[in-house]
Amino acid sequence: MKKLIAIVGPTASGQSNVAIELAKQCNGEIISADSAQVYKGLDIGTAKVSNSETQGIKHYLIDIVGAETEYNVGEFQKDAQNAIDEITAKGKMPILCGGSGLYVNSVINEGYDLGLTQGDPKKRKELAALEKEHGQGYLYGILAEKFPNRAKKIHENDYQRILRGLEMDADIDENYTVNRWSSPYDLQIFGLQKERKLLYQGIDERVDNMFELGLIEEVAAALSMGYNPKGNALMALGYKEILPLLYGNTEVEEAKNTLKLNTRHFAKRQLTWFRRDPRIIWYDVGDFANIAEISFAIFTKLKQDKFII
RNA sequence: GGGGAGGUUCCCGAGCGGCCAAAGGGGGCAGACUGUAAAUCUGCUGUCUACGACUUCGAUGGUUCGAAUCCAUCUCUCCCCA
């Protein structure tokens, strides 16, 4: 069984840097599990680690696609599995690090069978048109009729999942894994936590910093690179809040505050996502003097467990 | 100094005699999550010894069976005229 270390946590909890420190200590390489960092040109808003920050540690799955691509979990799952194989083959330790919960789970968990049906934008559009034509709730009705089991699990207002449910045109419930928390890897998973107040404070600071680094210019540049203002990439935090600014529909301060707020909400969702995974060993950032100490604590734990020698 | 508008639960904001612990929104908290996931969606949100009780709608005093809603005084805020 291949070994895999995962480091997860909400944005601005310092996971990227902890992962780098850890990689240095245990001869590792990092696989980013981040749905937005895969896009080229989106650097500031996604808080990508800079070249100097990586300290020579190789990072996978950052900057792998451009404006023409709509990336998604399915591709990520494959790409990440390949990266793990590649790193392992080199005799190094793969470290999966990031805050996109679904992305993380798709590689970390057994039987995450995404393969049944691919995403189908055309079909989604057709379905959306139907809903418009027949009124709200129409699609849910169809879903309930065709796949009652699946419909039971989806709230009638969760439009996106309803679309997905119908798009698949298959009752995938039967294919769900029974044991959700078993892994195809010899897995060690660590979570970074922060007192809520400090977490939010950190987010505010990070957002201020993004604006100073030129976030607005970056979004404008992304548009000229061909990124679709309505596409997945620019729907990400840090981009969708800036777009109205570029169109003159809001003020800088307002956009900044919106981004801070949305990021706090996002961090909360991340916490909710990861909290339910009983395998995660949590570290409170506030208990440590710096990043290096956290990674050392993790390193020590891994040694104790004989996960690394 | 004169005239007008108004002070509602963490915030904004409805309510204008009983159906009001008080609409709605925001925020906060909690949750869901299997190819859009930095997305999408849900629940809770005065206190308590909790199918009942208690304290809230600027303050005090009144009218009334009953007030956030009516009256009086006070107080604060905003706008207009001087």
Note the pLDDT tens digit of each residue in A15-46. Answer: 999 999 999 999 999 999 999 999 999 999 99
Dump strand ranges (E) for A148-295: 186-193, 281-284
Q: pLDDT tens for residues A135-188?
A: 889 999 999 999 998 899 999 999 999 999 998 877 666 556 557 899 999 999
* Distance from residue A162's CA to nucleotide B34's C1', rounded to whole Å: 14
**Of all nucleotides in the shown strands, which has a C1' nearest the CA of A238?**
B38
- For the beta sheet containing A28-32, the strands, ordered from the edge strand earlier in sequence to the opposite edge, are A59-60, A28-32, A93-97, A3-8, A186-193, A281-284
Please tell me whether any atom of strand B lies within 7 Å of the Cβ of A224.
no
Q: Which residue has the higher pLDDT, A171 or A72?
A: A72
Q: What whole-number distance in Å separates Cα of residue A209 and Cα of residue A243?
A: 18
CB proximity A181–strand B (7 Å threshold): no
Q: What is the pTM of this model?
A: 0.93
Residue partners of A225: CB distance under 8 A and separation at least 6: A41, A66, A67
Please state, in angstroms and rounded to a whole number, the distance separating the CA atoms of residues A75 and A73: 5
